[in-house]
Chains A and B, each alone.
Chain A
């Protein structure tokens, strides 16, 4: 069964405290691994696509990496505005989403 699992479910950080979010997947016919950000009351917003093991993508304080079985979203020196739920998804045309990691960054 196709599955995307994210950990931790929730993460609380102090401003400037770097950390990583994990996404493990077992998705048949995986075309890519995708990261999204979702703010409360909003739809998810696309962040990154990763296609092959070893690939890395960066955007501001976020860096996504991919291995054969999992992906990490590294957050360096986070700010309160980085607080959101981060979702990862895998698949081909039908994306399978994980339940997300709720990140709270406190000043």
Chain B
């Protein structure tokens, strides 16, 4: 398909384990965003990448969280030593340009993380 693809769609892990979440953006989109959505809450910004510029990591909640984007395409969000409060849906979005220009982000369906 032509949309944003995220995997896995569901992940159950034990407290203290590391997890990796993957995002395949729409081809040609230079901007890529990660958000987190807890039950009943709005979307919490985590990080964005734009082309070859340094990413804006200002939303990452702790140093257990990191993200990379390889070759300007696929991105991986890594959470080390998971905690129960990390349980949430992690949403990835891509855009032809940064959100400020059009506001139109194309979201994937998310990866639901449950930490036991």
Contact = CB atoms under 8 A, between A and B. Distances in A.
A99 B43 CA distance: 7
Nearest to B102: A49
Contact of B100 (A4, A87, A92, A99): A92
Interface residues of A, number: 24
A45 interface: yes
Given A93-B50, A93-B98, A43 B58 contact: no
Interface of A: 4, 6, 31-32, 34, 41-46, 49, 87, 89, 91-100
5 contacts: A92-B99, A93-B48, A93-B56, A95-B45, A98-B42
B100 A44 contact: no
B42 A94 contact: no
B110 interface: yes
A44 B108 CA distance: 8
